[in-house]
Structure 1
Amino acid sequence: MRIRRIRINHHLYVRHHVRVRIRMKRSIRMRRPLAALAAAVALVLVTVGCGTGDPADPSRTGRAASLTVLDYYTDRTEHAHWGELLADCGRRAGVTIEHRSVPAPSLVPTVLRQAAARTMPDLLMLDNPDLQQIARSGVLAPLRPYGVRTDGFGPGILSAGTYRGEVYGLAPTVNTLALYYNKDMLAEAGVAVPRTWDELRKAALATTRPGRHGLAVDADPSFESTFQFLPFLWSNGGDERRLDTPQAAEALRLWSDLVRDGAMSRSVLTWNQADVHEQFLGGDAAMMVNGPWRMTELEKAKDLRWGVAPLPVPRAGAELVTPLGGEVWTVPRGDSEARMRKAAEVLACLNEPANQQTLATWHHTVPSRTDAADRYAKQVPAMAAFVESVRGARARTQRLGPGWPKAATAIHTAVQAAVSGQQTPEEAFRRAQRMATDS
């Protein structure tokens, strides 16, 4: 989701504040649905026969002196941070690291070309919703045979890296969404930080003024909008496997009513998460839904007094369920067993508690190991709301697997239709259900 990236068919990041937008997209990385790409990978495998040997095969021996690594961390600071950690883990494994980053929209096409040419990297980072599509194609190796430990990770986090019961990827850190609020604006309006939807409505209306709205969200026609809507859908009992339900319509009605009543700008239909951030940072919104990657910029705003809380739930006592953002690291199948084993060593090193803590501190993300996350929340109180929300966060592919992108498209299409007033929430989700199930 994010500090950063976008899907191929959404051209959102080519606007103003490019650096901020690059940071934004990392949490949810919006590229086009991968069904066609996965099919292409499968064809590549049939055609060129990527190595799929048994890790225990004694005939596949040899030494590995270096490893190639591919990710989409093109931001200069982020690339340097990852390069430093990769190099350190490489030294511990006895190999040098050749680290390459490509723009997010180029990652999967690059992987396809490399699969066809039998030049896959030894270590590959993927946006977590993309893993199942790529794993299904057969180009990734399961981690269990290489002794990579998965204990200590939350179930939602493991789910993001799992395909058909096998773990193919692990995320050193993750992220999700929470509610940012302007302390002075809420105090001026005499409202507390909202914990329920009713309280959110009241707070948004009470803090709305000429030239300022109470709440800013991303409702644009992209997977970013789906990411932001999921906490409302899931926490209300909605299910992406069946979108035309009263629970889904009620969640969407919350957003459409806030726009109708003026507590949210109609411009949310064109805002992505970077735009939402700019509204809050500039004092044009009293609250916003966004991710932890926003803190770096907010901390620079000396005159802005802000706080973070878990997203409001439909009613008191309801369980908050948020989507899980972040990237997983994988070991592509190759012809050299020695290189695959060394790649697995580096992957395991990246996921050690101390390295997770380092990455979280650098990038305002949440360590994936539960014990490391708890320690981090105590050290960085502003991150406590995100750590709490990650505990119950759900991988977007958990229920639909490789079919998730189709449902995600249907959801953000429904959000556009209802928030714009073109359709009622019920009508919008009936149409979305047809979209999601059409073959």
Structure 2
Amino acid sequence: MTHRIARATALTAVAALALTACSSPSSAPEGASDGEVKGEVTLWMYPVIRDEAASKDFWEQTETDFEKAHPDVDLNIELQTFDKRDEQISAALAANSGPDIVLITPDQAATYLNVGGLQPVDEAIAEDRDVFFPATLQAATFEDELYGVPLFQNVFTTAYNKAVFDDAGIELPTTWDEIREAAPVLADEGVAVMDYLGTPEQTLNLSFYPFLWQAGGRVFSKDGTKVAFDSDEGVEALQFLVDLQEEGGLPKDAATQAVGIEGSPLAAGTVGIRPTTSPAELAQMRAALGEDAVVVGAPLEGEEQATYGNPGLLSLTSINKQENRAAAYEVLSFLTSKDFQTELNTAAGNFPTRTDVAIGGDEADRDAYEAALAVANPGEPNPSARQVMAVLAPYIQSALRGDLTPKEALDKAAAEAQDVLDRS
């Protein structure tokens, strides 16, 4: 699957300036006359390794290692913060001054491509393309060209408080039907079968969208010009959640429940399943409930099995000049190689985007997250993705509160969200 971006008829000032730096994608990159790659490449790297000092040391060593292997390329890795990242990158594109390569998300890739701020990178991984998880490449593919090389990915899967299921004599549920069957049994014991974080602070990629995908639905049409979450599959997904809420299968405050493990019903032992769990949250669950009480499983399954897994993309900006193109390709290839991904994932605790890179951790956890990687959905990149989330989230809350039926909620949300898409 590739994404198609609806182009604006009149480009913004950012786009106009950014396009002045774009060279033709069909032009071959220029190397040195003697066949050696030469040039200067600036990379903006955002926090991947949480410890600031460790991050600084890691990326300084990366510069050293790359330049040792490519003595005629000057690599400058500039560490940035997440604060105002969109504004920072947009300003750099407008000024035609800044990074040749930048770490961004698929949603950001869709946005910057829409204003002419990115260039294709297919050539950078031509020899290794087949070893990447297909979904990570799909997330960065627009109109059949690749606009970002996946550096790492975050992935989320199911975690269980096994103790509550053991006490009730229930096998760990892995499908919607099994969750439905377990819900009333656990509710009689004052336990919600599943967690749901309905607060608008939580991205829908980690709340409603996984259930939408498990039902076989989509957020947007394949060409990205229409909203599609109000389909029969969307109604089925929201009805599943509403039915659980009505019979005590979700926490009472699911419509507004905040992000975080500490102080949550899950940590109190009154919830059986967290459907989208990161490794960091898994550690927090075990600290609260005990090592033996928490088990990791594969993503839940409705009509389909799916979860959210978001790749970090190294994208080539319109700032990169033709004379530095080959050098930029070498940087992209080096940073997404098997050896480097192994080092980065060890240091950062993330997951690989390559199938030939081993996943670390406890064997049972490793197997579960490996299964999650195989069915991870990177989201549906669209320049309006975040605005659509902001429209949809309150309507999902209304359905969970019983103020609207699932169909009413999604129909109303779709009408507003379509206006957002049409305006953009």
Shift in alpha-carbon separation, 1:226–1:396, aligned structure 2, 3 A: closer
Alignment equivalent of 1:43, drawn from 4, 7, 13: 13
1:311 aligns with 2:311: no
TM-score, normalization by structure 1: 0.78
Shift in alpha-carbon separation, 1:344–1:279, aligned structure 2, 3 A: farther
Amino acid at match of 1:215: M
Offset, 1:382: 0.1
Shift in alpha-carbon separation, 1:82–1:133, aligned structure 2, 3 A: farther
After the TM superposition, which residues 52-131 of structure 1 pair with which residues of structure 2 at under 5 Å, given as runs?
52-54=22-24, 56=28, 63-64=38-39, 67-73=42-48, 75-77=50-52, 79-80=55-56, 83=59, 86-87=62-63, 88-94=65-71, 95-103=74-82, 105-131=83-109
Shift in alpha-carbon separation, 1:273–1:151, aligned structure 2, 3 A: farther
Counterpart Cα distance in 2 of 1:134 and 1:377: 34
Three-state SS of the structure 2 residue aligned to 1:323 is strand
* Sequence identity (%): 21
Q: Is 63-72 or 389-398 further displaced after alignment? A: 63-72
Counterpart Cα distance in 2 of 1:376 and 1:50: 42
Three-state SS of the structure 2 residue aligned to 1:268 is coil
Counterpart Cα distance in 1 of 2:270 and 2:324: 52
Shift in alpha-carbon separation, 1:335–1:234, aligned structure 2, 3 A: closer
1:328 aligns with 2:313: yes
Offset, 1:64: 3.2
Counterpart Cα distance in 2 of 1:408 and 1:47: 29
Offset, 1:117: 2.4
Which one has more relative contact order, counting CA pairs under 8 Å at least 6 apart? 2
TM-score, normalization by structure 2: 0.81
Amino acid at match of 1:334: I
After the TM superposition, which residues 238-387 of structure 1 pair with which residues of structure 2 at under 5 Å, given as runs?
238-240=217-219, 241=221, 242-275=228-261, 278-293=264-279, 294-298=281-285, 303-305=290-292, 306-314=294-302, 318-334=303-319, 336-372=321-357, 375-376=358-359, 380-387=363-370
Shift in alpha-carbon separation, 1:211–1:408, aligned structure 2, 3 A: same
**1:166-203 residue CA offsets vs partner (Å, 9 max, x unmatched):** 11112222233321101222211111110221211333
Shift in alpha-carbon separation, 1:405–1:303, aligned structure 2, 3 A: closer
Counterpart Cα distance in 2 of 1:107 and 1:253: 36
Counterpart Cα distance in 1 of 2:326 and 2:132: 22
Contact kept in structure 1, 2:93 and 2:318, CA below 8 Å: no
Amino acid at match of 2:172: V
Offset, 1:369: 1.4
Match of 1:436 in 2: 417
Shift in alpha-carbon separation, 1:92–1:205, aligned structure 2, 3 A: farther
After the TM superposition, which residues 186-225 of structure 1 pair with which residues of structure 2 at under 5 Å, given as runs?
186-208=165-187, 212-222=191-201, 224-225=203-204
**1:243-280 residue CA offsets vs partner (Å, 9 max, x unmatched):** 33332212111211222222212322223442589543
Counterpart Cα distance in 1 of 2:243 and 2:392: 17
Offset, 1:367: 1.4
Contact kept in structure 1, 2:311 and 2:378, CA below 8 Å: no
Shift in alpha-carbon separation, 1:40–1:92, aligned structure 2, 3 A: farther
Q: Which runs of 5+ in 1 are unaligned?
A: 1-33
Contact kept in structure 2, 1:35 and 1:133, CA below 8 Å: no
Counterpart Cα distance in 1 of 2:115 and 2:375: 29
Offset, 1:158: 0.6
1:402 aligns with 2:383: yes
Offset, 1:59: 10
Contact kept in structure 2, 1:132 and 1:162, CA below 8 Å: no
Amino acid at match of 1:52: C
Shift in alpha-carbon separation, 1:410–1:164, aligned structure 2, 3 A: same
Q: Which runs of 5+ in 2 are unaligned?
A: 222-227
Contact kept in structure 1, 2:256 and 2:397, CA below 8 Å: no
Shift in alpha-carbon separation, 1:319–1:276, aligned structure 2, 3 A: farther
Counterpart Cα distance in 1 of 2:408 and 2:58: 46
Q: Which structure has the greater CA radius of gyration?
A: 2
Counterpart Cα distance in 2 of 1:333 and 1:174: 24
Contact kept in structure 1, 2:297 and 2:368, CA below 8 Å: yes
Contact kept in structure 2, 1:79 and 1:101, CA below 8 Å: no
